[in-house]
Structure 1
Amino acid sequence: MLSSVKGSWCLILGASSGMGRATALAMAREGAHVCGVYFGTAAQQEEADALAEEVRALGVQASFHNVNAAKADARAEVTAHLAELTGPQGVRVVLHSLAFGSLLPFIPTEGQPDVITPRQMDMTVDVMGHSLVYWVRDLYTAGLLGRGAKVFALTSRGDGRVMPSYGAVSAAKSALASHVRQLAVELAPSGIAVNALRAGLTMTPALIRIPGSDALAQRARESNPHGRITTPEDVAEAVVMFSASDSSWITGNVIDVDGGEGLV
């Protein structure tokens, strides 16, 4: 059954830039209030403040938190604040868009002696993968995820491909897909849908950090049937589209949002 996100609340983890930022604006344009979580420097704080003002200018509420989303105390703080903001209606949409991890190789080579450490590996998989479980569980047990709620995790084609220095992130994305399946089954009786959106190559701040990202973008642009790469707005549009339904029947999937990039 189609419905509307107008007047509902969405929680965006990783809201200050890239796909998180685009989704915040897209949901606000549809009349949804936005709670954004990000972890940033003074410059990123300014970007988040400007985004919050853009969201409010669209006639909805905005509540942004500069905290480490991978920390239990930060989850507890934001969850308690959300309970106050949303009241009994809870949160309609959760977007997990955390992109913070190590981009170091597993094996040293000539010219690149530095390799990923156990601490960096654990941090990458925890932030970009395991934290999805902890956030969804805390929101659910707090009564903030009700029937019709939607949870989206962002993954990439790197979940099944090898790229230089991407090993830890690839492991995190693979864990994320597994967590999506498990959460989808466990939350199905409550009418909550959980899916991963696998975006095509998108020029986000996270991608730019990957060695050789310009060449990756050029290859994706040349091979994509649409003749361009994916934009953050493409992904945001998909979130809005899938959120405009009370149905939980589409759940547990990795859904490509790539313009056919993965087909060629």
Structure 2
Amino acid sequence: MTRKRQGQQGWGPEHPEQHYLVQPRTVAGGGDVRHVSEYLRASGWRDRSKRGGPLLVESPDRTLRVAYDPHGQPGGWTIHGKATGSTQEWSAHLGRQTPVEIVAGITDTLPLPRSAHAPNVWGPLADGGWHARFEGNSYSATSPDGTAWLQYRQEANGTALWWTGATDTRGNSWTGAFTPTTPLHVVQAFSAQLASPEPVMRPRGRVPHSSKIRTWSVSVTPSQLGAWQQARINAARAATWARNSRRTDRPSTSAPPYANAGSVRTRR
């Protein structure tokens, strides 16, 4: 009786689970899409997904949509903004293997009010030591290890777009594109996560096989994982409450809570 009760209540000892911190994040694999979707739901967005269909969430005013379809062609993430009084229609498309932490650079920003400061897309890349250069009508920045890039390119016919991606030789590659009408603060939020040196966490069995990455083995308990996930959701709820209370304080975007995870062992 006591043993059964302890199991139901979760009072027994927890068994640590093996996860890995992966660096660089650009080729860490897609990750769990709930990292994106649960934050948006906690921010008051509505789930418009059909049963058994692709993920689709929509902002409360219906001007913004975030979708993820792993099965379509080319598949992956589609983020769309309708035209409003101050913004033209825009969209972004990111491949299936785009790490969710990088996708969240865009989606975490969407529920927030715009900063009064002028955005600087290239600033986070320069701070991260990325190599910038002009190439004809394009301006590009490439990561120090050569795995990732961001480019603003203008075609001969006058059309333009933002082009980005990461590549290695083991199938962890992805590409993405933004229309030139994409708000610059959104592109900057993306570039900040693209260039972030912070590793991302992946469970055992979901770590890419690649000579481009380094990994550290970490032992974490289910309650630790749950607490980190809940902290992210709580941050979204707090920011939503602040907006509804006419306050504009932004939630912290500092290092992830598992940055100092214990029991770390280098794997590669």
Structure 1 length-normalised TM: 0.34
Q: Which has the larger radius of gyration?
A: 2
Q: Which has the higher contact order (CA 8 A, sep 6+)?
A: 2
Could you tell me the TM-score, scaled by structure 2's length?
Answer: 0.34
